[in-house]
Structure 1
Amino acid sequence: MIPWLTIAIALPAVGAVLVWALPRVKAPDTVSETAASASAGGGTATAVRTKAPAATGGPASAENAKRITLGFSLATLAVLVAMALRFDTSDAGSLQFTEVHEWIPRFGIHYAVGVDGLALALVLMSAVLVPLVVLAAWREHDDREDGGRGYFALVLALEAMMIGVFAATDVFLFYVFFEAMLIPVYFMIGRYGRGNERSAAALKFLLYSLAGGLVMLVSVIGVAVYGGTFLWADLVGGGSALAALDPSTARWLFLGFFIAFAIKAPMWPVHTWLPQAAGASRPGTAVLLVGVLDKVGTYGMLRYCIELFPSAVSWFVWPVVGLSLVSIIYGAILAIGQSDMMRLVAYTSVSHFGFITLGIFALNQQGQAGAALYMVNHGFATGALFLLVGFLVARRGSALIEDFGGVQNTAPKLAGVFLVTGLAGLGLPGLAPFVSEFLVFLGAYAFSPVPAVVAVVGVVLAALYILWMYQRTMSGPAGEKVAGFKDLSAREAWAVGPLLALILAFGLYPQPLLDVINPAVERTVETAVDASEEGGEE
């Protein structure tokens, strides 16, 4: 049997090592002319030969780094697409392509991977976004000494960990990938970010994530102690040792996982790291941070909180629904008041993740299917929006909304794509996020009409922050600040075009995604409902 997932994890990891190990190519000598001091007999010009610092990576090294990164990311995508074509959609609720190997036998820890329909969708989403980020960031780091070589190595390292965290079926292995992702992201923000606050933003991201991870580690150890194993497949279901846990212990273990996932998601009030981190990030980093890494939080809620501790879920439902509603409204209101486009998009994601957690804890088929679909569609729509903001920042040298205006007059294609992507973010019918939002509303209303009605306010506010941003940046007469703007280049079109195509395709025909997501969601709903009924009987 071909170890598809191991190959998909190993490819970008090997690529990261190769990019990092590229030989430093000494920059060529440069010749400049300086006028010598004129003497009594007449002045002469002398050529002065200067050398670039020996420590810098030359242009060849930087270009090779980009090509290798793009090649390995495309190879990883090809492997995962080949794997997906062999995925049995009739059994999408079960783990497929599983591998289980002993890793640390003394503690019962395994290298165990596998994917059901939900994990497959998120793994493919991650693999699609990475090469597009590489294309978008092709010229982003040309002004650095290493030409961005270190950045592209970090992108590949992060891709390996993102695939690993969604594919892990050993709880300890999941925790390792969960924490290891922090390292490349920290350097992608702190070293390769933008602005004077990038170091502080990277540190805040790291501290918040480490705090959540340490809390989760206590629950991970608790799972092994009470469940007798780290293997997820042996921990779920009525026959597992965790099913016999007393309610108090189950609630504490649930809470340990939930706090870490709420920080990662992020939910109000532990969301404050995200706007600062996204605001200080390069657009490509923001795409992976918000488009993929934050999904680990909501994925973990479905996969670990609900399926491992279903007896504790009913006790937390209403508090989580309440936090979700606050996130929806609070994130949207703060997005309206932002002057920085990167921070604005980050706050919209706080609001969007409120919809996702609302759907998850509605505990019914429509809500959780909508939440799972929302994870994928949000990755594509918000990823495209961050890339487009990045294109604007590259042209103007600023992310401030007030520094733009009238872009549609000088770059109509860029403005048009920006509008479509923004409309996707506010849930316009015919675009992918609408289907997700609609299913979440159905699930929330079936759970209780009140949360569904409150959540509608978030949709109204979304129209305000998206359309107002578009009006202030794209419409009106073109001023001097944007007079020299170029329209979308071929490279930029290749970076954002596939995302736009996916947004349109899944908006008109979401069934292929739902076919692989629904069976996994049905299993989660059945687990939670059965536990709730057993608790009621007791």
Structure 2
Amino acid sequence: MSSFPLLTVTAALPAVGAILTAALPAATNARSRDRNKVVPLAFSLGTLVLACVAAARFVPGGARFQMTEHHAWISQFGIGYSLGVDGIAVVLVLLTSVLVPFVMLASWHDADPTPVISGSAAGDDRNTFERKRRTQGFFALILAVEAMVVLSFEATDVFLFYVFFEAMLIPMYFLIGGFGDRTKGEDARQRSYAAVKFLLYNLLGGLVMLAAVIGLYTTTHTFDLTAITTGLQNGTIHFSPVAENALFLGFMFAFAVKAPLWPLHTWLPNAMGEATAGVAVLITAVVDKVGTYAMLRFCLNLFPQASKTFAPAILVLSVIGIIYGALLAVGQKDIKRLVAYASISHFGFIILGIFALTSQGQSGAALYMVNHGVSTAAWLLVAGFLMSRRGSRLIADYGGVQKVAPVLAGTFLIGGLAILSLPGLGPFVSEFLVLVGTFERYPALGIVATAGIVLAALYVLVLYQRTMTGPVKPGNEGVGDLKARELVVVAPLIAMLLVLGIYPKPIADIVNPSVNQTLSQVGRTDPAPHVNAIGGGQ
């Protein structure tokens, strides 16, 4: 077996790209700015190639954590640089590396500076030094987020995971506050408020988790995930019920903030509303997946008994989130806030599948993470193209767009149909599995959760009707159709939705062994089916 550190290189490449991008000479005109953007795009594509290699090397049904790496880091405290991917992690690394290049292409002009023309500088294309640095800083921050998210998925040392789980907040803070949406004008106060709220909520979750990480070490004297789970299985490591419950809640609180789970969700609508469309995709389709994946990797594996104890309460919160998010999405006037509340509803489905503790539910949750990432990216990026043309996020400002931009309207519809889980598109399979898995153990909660499907159809179709159909509203006459660069972004995402909807088996085959191993660690098996006798049969 090759000793090449594939996982390290996959995470290091975007980190190196971020440093080199930030160090590029400042651009003096549009052409040099575009040249500078090619560098981070190339690094993101290189990361995608490495992620594809990792996915190809992963052997479904083989060792739980594969392509492992381990090096001593802080030996006095048992902290190691330990990496490894299970089936769910390798799929999420691939999802991250797929979405980042599309985010960059979609955001190609989002951070371009406004020319400064005054006095003797009139007619001069040069800007101030700070203005010149904005564009490349934006793309460097995106690469930094990618590197930290990939390392979070790969880390098998709890302390190492915690470091990158928290570190990703820094570039995200600057992406929201420093490079926010300009469609409402230069309202820096709102962007700053959203960025600070995002940071404070997630820092609070991280501080609670840090206390739990320290508590875990004092009990187990190691941060190695594999060593702890093995010790729990063979009885060499044992938690008292009180200690296990407290540690579980510490970890779960941080992950529920990141996910986000109701009622810890309130930072998300502000952050997505004030971020550019590309950064909003980065938040909900990439960064937030760290929270749901960590529930599977750490909460269930480290604290199996506590997971079973608190599962009913978490399931209730998930169902509340599904209905609450969908209801608020129906009433939104702002397109991006609508997508944010829809995502809260969808994260409720993901967490519902995780804590139903059935194989169908957890397989559906793992697939849902992938499908939600692709569908949200497709829908929100097309919406971003529309908003950048019209200069408004308000639904009321649109109408009749399909008459002037039919391709844009058509791709927006397909993205929306994926969000509402239309059969034949990727999210349908995952949502169906989550509901089936929930019905098996908690039928009442499964019935209530299905109301989220009806509400999703309502907010998606009403949004499409109000923005795309009817007569062309004043101000929309000049809305142009998708350009070549934008089609390069949208077409592959729609193709992925179709492939995942028609043939999800390759992804399911990779994630299912990891799901079964997690359920075995928790000590849960699927409920036996109930068969009623018919006509006197046994």
How does the TM-score come out when normalised to structure 1? 0.91
Q: Does 1:85 align with 2:53?
A: no
**1:142 aligns to what?**
112
Partner of 1:154: 141
1:118-267 mapped onto 2 (5 Å cutoff): 118-144=88-114, 145-146=131-132, 148-194=135-181, 195=184, 196=187, 197-237=190-230, 238-239=232-233, 243-267=237-261
State the 1:383 CA deviation: 1.2
User: What displacement does 1:262 show?
Assistant: 0.5
The separation in 1 between residues aligned to 2:404 and 2:233, in whole angstroms, is 64
Aligned in 2, Cα 1:204/1:242: closer, same or farther, shift over 3 Å?
farther
Q: Choose which of 39, 62, 66 in structure 1 pairs with 2:37.
A: 66
Work out which of the two has the higher radius of gyration on C-alpha atoms and give 1 or 2. 1
Is residue 14 from structure 1 mapped to residue 16 from structure 2 by the alignment? yes
Number of matched pairs: 501
For 1:4, which of 6, 10, 13 is the aligned residue?
Answer: 6
- 1:243 & 1:428 partners in 2: Cα distance? 46
Contact 1:404–1:474 (Cα < 8 Å) also in 2: yes
Deviates more, 1:345-354 or 1:147-156: 147-156
- Aligned structure 1 segments of 4 or more residues deviating by more than 6 angstroms: none
2:61 counterpart SS class: helix
Amino acid at match of 2:476: V
Query: Which amino acid is 1:150 matched to?
Result: G
**Does 1:286 find its partner at 2:280?**
yes
Aligned partners of 1:253, 1:498: CA distance in 2, in Å? Answer: 42
TM-superposed CA distance for 1:83, in Å, is 2.0
| Aligned partner of residue 113 in structure 1, secondary structure | strand
1:358 to 339, 352, 359: 352
SS of alignment partner, residue 114 of structure 1:
strand
Change (3 A) 1:207 1:357: same
- Give 1:8 shift: 0.7
Q: CA deviation at 1:479?
A: 2.3
CA distance in 2, matches of 1:344, 1:420: 17
Q: Tell me how far apart the structure 2 counterparts of residues 240 and 257 of structure 1 sit (CA, whole Å).
A: 23
Q: In structure 2, what is the Cα distance between the partners aligned to 1:163 and 1:134?
A: 17
- TM-score normalised by the chain length of structure 2: 0.91
State whether residues 208 and 273 of structure 1, in contact with CA within 8 Å, keep that contact through their aligned partners in structure 2: yes
- Is this contact kept in 1: 2:202–2:258, CA < 8 A? yes
Look up the match of 1:409: 403
For residues 285 and 296 of structure 2, the distance between their equivalents in structure 1, rounded to whole angstroms, comes to: 18
Q: Distance in 1 between matches of 2:483 and 2:525?
A: 55
Query: After superposition, what is the alpha-carbon deviation per residue over 1:434-488, rounded to whole angstroms, capped at 9, x for unaligned?
Result: 0000000110100121001000111100000000000000001112311111111
CA contact under 8 A between 1:189 and 1:277: conserved in structure 2?
yes
**Deviation for aligned residue 1:140:** 1.6
- Assess, with a 3 A threshold, how the Cα gap between structure 1 residues 228 and 80 changes in structure 2: closer, same or farther: same
Which of the residues 477, 480, 483 maps onto 1:486?
A: 480
1:112 paired residue number = 82
Deviation of 1:61 after TM superposition, in Å, equals 4.5
In the aligned structure 2, how far is the partner of 1:242 from the partner of 1:192?
A: 50
Change (3 A) 1:158 1:148: same
Separation in 2, partners of 1:352, 1:251: 27
Shift of 1:198: 0.6
Q: Please show how residues 496-507 of structure 1 align to structure 2 within 5 Å.
A: 496-507=490-501
- Segments of structure 2 that go 5 or more residues without pairing to the other structure are 115-130, 528-538
1:100 maps to which residue?
70
Aligned to 1:380: 374
1:11 is aligned with what amino acid?
Answer: L
Could you tell me which amino acid in structure 2 is paired with residue 110 of structure 1? G
Does 1:348 find its partner at 2:345? no
1:241, 1:108 → 2: CA distance?
A: 20
- Kept after mapping to 1: 8 A contact 2:332/2:338: yes
C-alpha displacement of 1:72: 0.3
Q: 2: distance between equivalents of 1:470 and 1:157?
A: 35
Aligned-pair CA distance for 1:80: 1.2
Amino acid at match of 2:102: L
Listed one character per residue, the Cα deviations across residues 325-350 of structure 1 (whole Å, up to 9, x for unaligned) are 10000000000010000000000000
Structure 2 CA distance for aligned equivalents of residues 60 and 298 of structure 1: 41
| Range 140-149 or range 63-72, more displaced | 140-149
1:521 matched to 2:515? The reply is yes
Distance 2:386 2:325 in 1: 23
Q: Which amino acid aligns with 1:74?
A: L
CA 1:242–1:465 in structure 2 vs 1: closer, same or farther (change >3 Å)? Answer: farther
| Secondary structure at the counterpart of residue 112 of structure 1 | strand
Task: Tell me the amino acid that sits aligned with residue 223 of structure 2.
Answer: F
Equivalence for 2:269 = 275
For residues 179-209 of structure 1, give each alpha carbon's deviation from its aligned partner in whole angstroms, at most 9, with x where no partner exists.
0000000000000002521100000000000
Aligned 8 A contact 1:95 1:114 in 2: yes
- 2:149 and 2:32 map into 1 onto residues whose CA distance is 26
The residue type paired with residue 216 of structure 1 is M
Distance 2:319 2:236 in 1: 31
Deviation at 1:386, TM superposition (A): 1.3
Q: Deviations over 1:14-67 (max 9, x none)?
A: 111111111224x3xxxxxxxxxxxxxxxxxxxxxxxxxxxxxx4354223210
Q: 2: distance between equivalents of 1:415 and 1:466?
A: 13
- Give yes or no for contact 1:311–1:531 (8 Å, CA) kept in 2: no
Deviations along 1:253-296, one digit per CA (max 9) or x if unpaired, are 00000000110010111100000100000011011100011111
Q: Is the 8 A contact 1:5 1:113 kept in 2?
A: yes
How far apart are residue 408 of structure 1 and its match? 0.5
SS of the counterpart of 2:197?
helix
SS at match of 1:97: strand
Amino acid at match of 2:147: A
CA distance in 2, matches of 1:399, 1:309: 43
What secondary structure is seen at the aligned counterpart in 2 of 1:139?
coil
Tell me, yes or no, if the aligned pair for 1:243 and 1:309 is still in contact at 8 Å.
no
Partners of 1:297 and 1:258 lie apart in 2 by 9
**AA in 2 matched with 1:78:** V
Counterparts of 1:372 and 1:83 in 2: how far apart (Å)?
18
How much is the aligned-residue C-alpha RMSD, in angstroms? 1.5
Q: Distance in 1 between matches of 2:234 and 2:151?
A: 25
Give the drift of 1:90. Answer: 3.2
Counterpart AA for 2:213: V
